[in-house]
């Protein structure tokens, strides 16, 4: 990708969270930044804590500058961990406690890069992570070149039916979330950003109305087709399907609901359920499996590497994901790329990923209603292996044409180019025709 002067775009990427070995946001930041660097002249400003793993894994064509704000971040991290009782739950508290640390991060970036920015050595500044819409960016107001924000993802309300799960997730600050709109730099961040990438409709609706014309519906999730791909055609016993759950075993993902479905259904017990992941719910899940005598049909494998999860997906038929508040659901995108038929709650990120017949969407309801409806949906899939195969193929086609890191990087550069040339931003670049054009170009 090049500018009108026929040189590579020069991009300063801010990626506080950017680590190839840390799950969720840090690895997403790493893969997105690395892919963008294949198409532009990229310098990544990231936190010094990421250095050991980045040195070990490498960063492709990107240059890396390490930013040290440990004079604030270290103590805030200790306090954050203490308040949350660890690092598995209490994500609203986690984001709130990151506010002073992130302001310090951007201050250090400004101190280091201000001369280069003022000399015109960069065309665009892009804040890739953090992805929370509640954390502002002071640099949006002072950058002498266009500032791009996102992809952001947040603002999905907790379902009222799951107050007990919210309490177990230690989401005590949810009721005070709207206070972030009054924090210093919040308003200026959205007024001054030249483009705002917002993942899914729930995020767009959470952001200021005044910034809508500069927003692009841009999911933050992506897939690495070398890790997540469908198995070669092989003879498979369609009389016994494998259902797979993969993810953190935490309350809001409802991993035990999949076990409840098997416990109540003689049809499902004729098939196989594999649960991959670890977390505070694991002990209760294993106890439930034992009490219901489900060991012949249910396995709990614990934590596995990305490569191992990819292989397990290739050995499975249906991905079961009953999470009731999933902002993005990167694991659903990975399952889609692996050719699985996905069954998920019709809420948040999965609802949009599985639209248009790309999977089964179960209506959000009470725990009792969800268990009933998931059981019926999984029984129907168990009885219709051709439907499982058809939806898996549709999901795979969508994921490979629209959600690979390389296609997303090229779409990101299109947005940079539009900003620099004063063109109108596309509201939703992830239309099939547009994404397929970029996939063909990448091939």
For residue range 2-29, what is the model confidence (pLDDT) as tens digits? 334 467 999 999 999 999 998 888 999 9
Q: Are residues 207 and 322 in the same domain?
A: no
Domain count, the chain: 2
Q: Are residues 408 and 338 in the same domain?
A: no
Q: Are residues 370 and 414 in the same domain?
A: no
| Cα–Cα dist 317/337, whole Å | 12
Is residue 231 one of the residues assigned to a domain?
A: no
At 434, is the pLDDT very low, low, confident or very high (cuts 50, 70, 90)? Answer: very low
Is residue 236 one of the residues assigned to a domain?
A: no
Q: Report the b/e string of 225-238 with b at 16+ CB within 10 A.
A: bebbbbeeeeeeee
Q: Are residues 266 and 208 in the same domain?
A: no
341-345 β-sheet, strand order: 298-302, 272-276, 242-246, 318-321, 341-345, 360-362
Is residue 2 one of the residues assigned to a domain?
A: no
Is residue 230 one of the residues assigned to a domain?
A: no
For residue range 60-91, what is the model confidence (pLDDT) as tens digits? 999 999 999 988 888 877 777 776 676 666 66
Which residues face 342 on adjacent strands? 319
- CATH number assigned to the domain comprising residue 129: 3.40.50.2000
What number of other Cβ atoms are within 10 A of residue 157's Cβ? 12
Mean pLDDT of 179-204: 94
Per-residue pLDDT at 2: 37
Per-residue pLDDT at 97: 76
Kindly state the tokens that stand for 328: 């993005």
* Residue 438, domain extent: 10-222+404-442
Per-residue pLDDT at 90: 62
Contact present, 223 and 288 (Cβ < 8 Å): no
Q: Are residues 397 and 408 in the same domain?
A: no
| Cα–Cα dist 361/374, whole Å | 9
| Cα–Cα dist 173/95, whole Å | 10
Per-residue pLDDT at 433: 41
Per-residue pLDDT at 72: 86
Is residue 85 one of the residues assigned to a domain?
A: yes
Is residue 5 one of the residues assigned to a domain?
A: no
Q: Flag whether pLDDT at 57 surpasses 90.
A: yes
pTM for the full predicted model:
0.89
| Cα–Cα dist 155/197, whole Å | 14
Which residues face 341 on adjacent strands? 318
Q: Are residues 397 and 411 in the same domain?
A: no
Q: Are residues 27 and 77 in the same domain?
A: yes
Which residues face 196 on adjacent strands? 149, 215
Is residue 228 one of the residues assigned to a domain?
A: no
Q: Flag whether pLDDT at 214 surpasses 60.
A: yes
| SS3 readout for 57-85 | HCCCCCEEEEECCHHHHHHHHHHHHHHHC
| Cα–Cα dist 81/59, whole Å | 29
Cα-based torsion angle of the residue sequence 214, 215, 216, 217 in order, rounded to the nearest 10 degrees? -170
Per-residue pLDDT at 3: 39
| Cα–Cα dist 149/64, whole Å | 19
Q: Are residues 367 and 355 in the same domain?
A: yes
Q: Are residues 63 and 126 in the same domain?
A: yes
Q: Are residues 432 and 333 in the same domain?
A: no
| Cα–Cα dist 392/105, whole Å | 42
Q: What percent of the chain has pLDDT over 90?
A: 76
Sign of CA dihedral 86, 14, 219, 210: positive
For residue range 98-131, what is the model confidence (pLDDT) as tens digits? 889 999 999 999 999 999 999 999 999 999 999 9
Is residue 229 one of the residues assigned to a domain?
A: no
E-strand stretches of 1-113: 10-15, 41-47, 63-67
Q: Are residues 322 and 423 in the same domain?
A: no
Task: Give the residue among 416, 332, 405 at the shortest CA–CA distance from 148.
Answer: 416
Q: Are residues 389 and 282 in the same domain?
A: yes
């Amino acid at each position: 990708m090049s500018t009108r002067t026929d040189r590579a775009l020069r991009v300063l990427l801010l990626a506080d969270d950017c680590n190839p070995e840390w799950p969720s946001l840090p690895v997403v930041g790493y893969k997105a930044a690395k892919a963008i660097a294949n198409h532009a002249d990229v310098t990544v400003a990231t936190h010094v804590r990421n250095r050991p793993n980045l040195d070990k894994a490498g960063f492709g064509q990107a240059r890396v500058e390490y930013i040290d704000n440990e004079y604030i971040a270290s103590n805030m991290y200790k306090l954050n961990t203490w308040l949350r009782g660890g690092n598995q739950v209490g994500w609203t508290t986690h984001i709130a406690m990151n506010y002073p640390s992130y302001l310090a991060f951007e201050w250090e970036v400004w101190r280091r890069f201000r001369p280069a920015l003022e000399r015109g050595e960069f065309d665009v500044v892009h804040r890739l992570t953090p992805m929370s819409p509640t954390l502002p960016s002071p640099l949006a107001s002072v950058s002498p070149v266009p500032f791009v924000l996102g992809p952001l993802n947040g603002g999905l309300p907790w379902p009222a039916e799951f107050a007990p799960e919210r309490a177990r997730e230690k989401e005590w600050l949810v009721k005070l979330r709207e206070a972030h709109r009054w924090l210093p730099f919040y308003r200026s961040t959205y007024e001054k950003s030249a483009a705002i990438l917002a993942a899914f409709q729930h995020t767009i609706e959470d952001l200021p109305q005044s910034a809508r014309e500069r927003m692009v519906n841009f999911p933050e999730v992506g897939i690495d087709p070398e890790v997540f791909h469908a198995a070669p055609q092989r003879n498979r016993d369609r009389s016994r399907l494998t259902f797979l759950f993969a993810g953190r075993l935490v309350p809001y993902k409802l991993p035990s609901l999949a076990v409840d479905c098997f416990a109540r259904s003689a049809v499902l017990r004729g098939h196989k359920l594999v649960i991959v992941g670890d977390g505070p719910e694991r002990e209760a899940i294993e106890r439930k499996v034992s009490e219901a005598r489900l060991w012949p049909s249910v396995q709990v494998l614990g934590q596995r590497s990305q490569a191992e999860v990819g292989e397990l997906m290739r050995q499975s038929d249906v991905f079961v994901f009953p999470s009731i508040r999933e902002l993005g659901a990167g694991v659903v995108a990975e399952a889609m790329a692996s050719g699985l038929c996905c069954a998920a709650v019709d809420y948040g990120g999965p609802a949009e990923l599985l639209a248009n017949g790309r999977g089964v969407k179960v209506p959000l309801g009470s725990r009792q209603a969800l268990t009933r409806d998931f059981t019926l949906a999984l029984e129907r899939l168990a009885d219709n292996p051709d439907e499982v195969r058809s939806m898996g193929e549709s999901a795979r086609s969508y994921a490979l044409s629209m959600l690979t890191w390389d296609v997303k990087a090229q779409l990101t550069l299109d947005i940079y180019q539009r900003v620099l040339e004063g063109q109108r931003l596309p509201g939703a670049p992830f239309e099939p025709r547009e994404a397929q054009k970029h996939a063909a170009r990448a091939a």
